[in-house]
């Protein structure tokens, strides 16, 4: 499966990635979950400094989070480029070729294969990651929320460790990961682990916030649901 995201493999056989991309393409089969809508709610209320995500499905943006507030560390499907000469290729045409025709687009300049701007093995992370991270983790951040992750893929997995040691951190996850302190740890003054499903946790968070947060969350999520889509992304 890892070969699907290998540039050399894509160059010789693009179809495995094309078939996967047809399944993953944002807005075709999957709808944002409550967790995605929670990020949008934070953005709407002016509380979201940035959302750093390793997901490539674009569901944060579909949920309503502004593109400026999202750093898609492993890329996204909205833009595309040639893997040979690097020139940009129309994102809508890329979607049409892959999703509707089931083919890899070809570059009109050099004839090379085009792919969505997803980060393949050996490619650098988007420049926005490096440009924004240190500023975001400075005095702008009062709370770090980590959701639904194994925290095993660097450098994104290292973000919680880069944070100021005085800034509180909340982990919404099915298991304890990274360097988060286990519940009951002596001297723990900033880590909170909420074990369980992320959607359940964000709904409980909104319930505790009061002032209509839970109602707003559910309404926002309902607006982004596809009629025949899945909300289990």
The reply to whether 74 belongs to the active site is yes
Residue ranges of alpha helices (H) inside the chain are 7-12, 15-24, 34-44, 59-62, 91-95, 127-136, 159-162, 198-209, 213-223
Set 30, 36, 74, 76: catalytic member? 74
Can you tell me the distance from the alpha carbon of 100 to that of 136, in angstroms, rounded to the nearest whole number?
39
Q: Which two tokens stand for residue 38?
A: 């929670």
Q: Is residue 163 within 8 Å of residue 169, measured between CB atoms?
A: yes
Using CA atoms, how far apart are residues 36 and 202, in angstroms rounded to an integer? 10
Which burial class, exposed, middle or buried, applies to 172 when counting CB atoms under 10 A from its CB (0-12, 13-18, 19+)?
A: buried
- Confirm if 221 and 37 have CB atoms less than 8 A apart: yes
Catalytic residues: 74
């Amino acid at each position: 499966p890892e070969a699907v995201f290998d540039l050399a493999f894509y160059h010789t056989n693009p179809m495995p990635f094309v078939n996967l991309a047809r399944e993953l393409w944002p807005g075709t089969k999957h709808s944002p979950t409550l967790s995605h809508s929670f990020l949008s709610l934070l953005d709407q209320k002016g509380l979201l400094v940035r959302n750093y995500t390793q997901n490539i499905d674009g569901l944060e943006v579909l949920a309503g989070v502004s593109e400026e507030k999202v750093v898609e560390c492993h890329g996204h499907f909205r833009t595309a480029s040639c893997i040979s000469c690097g020139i940009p290729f129309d994102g809508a045409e890329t979607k049409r070729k892959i999703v509707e025709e089931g083919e890899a687009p070809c570059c009109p300049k050099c004839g090379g294969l085009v792919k969505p701007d997803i980060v393949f093995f050996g490619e650098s992370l988007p420049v926005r990651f490096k440009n924004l991270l240190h500023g975001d983790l400075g005095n702008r951040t009062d709370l770090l929320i980590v959701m639904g992750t194994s925290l095993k893929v660097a450098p994104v997995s290292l973000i919680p460790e880069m944070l100021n040691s005085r800034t509180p951190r909340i982990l919404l996850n099915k298991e304890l990961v990274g360097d988060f302190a286990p519940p009951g740890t002596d001297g723990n003054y900033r880590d909170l682990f909420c074990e369980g499903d992320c959607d359940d946790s964000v709904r409980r968070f909104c319930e505790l916030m009061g002032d209509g947060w839970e109602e707003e969350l559910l309404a926002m999520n309902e607006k982004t649901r596809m009629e025949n889509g899945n909300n289990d992304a």
